[in-house]
Structure 1
Amino acid sequence: MKYLVLDDEIIAAEYLVALICEVDEKAEIVMANNPVQSLELAKQQQFHVCFIDIQMPGLNGIEFANKLKKLYPKTNFIFVTGYSDHMGEAFKLDASDYIMKPANVEQIRHALENLRYSSQENPVGEEERRIQITCFGNFEIRIDGKPVKFKFEKTKELLAYLVHRKGTRCTSKEVIATLWEEDGHDSYYRMLKKDLQDVMNQLGCGKIIYSARGQIGLSNLECIQCDYFKWVENSVEGRKLYHGEYMAQYSWAEEINAFIEREKYEK
């Protein structure tokens, strides 16, 4: 189980983490103190359970949960707060529980034993069926069987390069040098990054994009069905999907295409 503990008071957050660990020894916990930054983090990885304070600067806990629910409808929200007057709003969000501070281990155990959504209802499984990427032949991406359209055609090439790099964190300089083979495209590159993130977020798949200052890459590769990934994992099985070309529309992909061709005849 992956947990997010969000409380702008560090001591309160650390205390809650300790309680969760007492109940779930195998818990994977991310502790956070800034709700705005936490929302960006949640776009890149999914949490099964979110323990959320309510009174926080910048974005209160109810607002945070509302935004996160749009990305992951079956997230378990457990509000841990010193205020009882938001209980109605919390349960309108289908919260699993509403705990008054200070929480104790029995309250945490009860909340985790009575989650609204089980981890088996994890949207990752749904996304795994939703995102299909084809690299052999022309590069294409489909979500729910429909081609994904971006504002800029170059955005598709940016995504193709991230797939090509298979989860590696790429610097802005590296991407610009690959896509344009020259400097001076920083503003255009920033527009492509925003277009990519916006479109994927709108389609509910924003978690596959890792984006930070000066870096970008793919995340949660397990959510993506991709012929190239299958070839990397098992070249024997992957060769069955290969039809003589790899990302044919992009010149920077020619080296990998040559490698696959050579590997095919060496086996």
Structure 2
Amino acid sequence: MKCLVVDDELLARERLTRMLDQLEGCEVCGEAADGQQALDQAQVLVPELILMDIRMPGMDGLEAARHLLKLDNPPAVVFTTAYGDHALEAFEAQAIDYLLKPIHPERLQQALEKARRLNLVQLENISGDSDVRTHLCARNRGNLELVPVEEVVYLQADQKYVTVRSATRKILVEDALKALEEEFGDRFLRIHRNALVAVQCIRALEKDSQGHVSVVLDGVEERLEVSRRLLPEVRRNIRNGA
């Protein structure tokens, strides 16, 4: 079984790699220091199992596991953590195993055996209740493409997809616009039934000769129409310095 080891601490990765090398039927194919690197490595190395720390700077293990679900053949994930808090009970209840640091060889062997029995349905259990994401993810020609949420200028629905627009690129995600609005709260402001804009990117409102009002956004040339129904709320947010 090909394994990818993910931990932001080098010594922790080295120790876990040595332990895995001593187990029969297990091959360490690579290492990563955070969730972003784990996604990149997973696409190149195609591991069957990822042993991943939960708490890491940048993208943590929970969010990385959610993005991994978009792969054609997502790997099984076993979390590692130094924190014996109540969240661990939830992971175990959902049939996702975890290893409490310091990791003991016998417990590691049990986790590997359990990981072999994990399937996609069990892995999906972790995706619903984790923290707000730091990145939005799309598949592009079989690869995962990520945009940091803090770089998103607007989100615009188009049939079953949502366009995620940053200053430098666009990706299409399958998330519902309403779900994105609920997930990210006050970071985005609804200006139309099909559009959310990043509050921090709002520069001004402008009106055309026909009386239609659009929002001017930092970082992009596009002007997005503001619906008449939502215009008072948008103006109120701009006046309040939202």
TM-score range, shorter chain: 0.3 to 0.5
Give the structure with the larger helix fraction.
1
TM-score (norm 2): 0.45
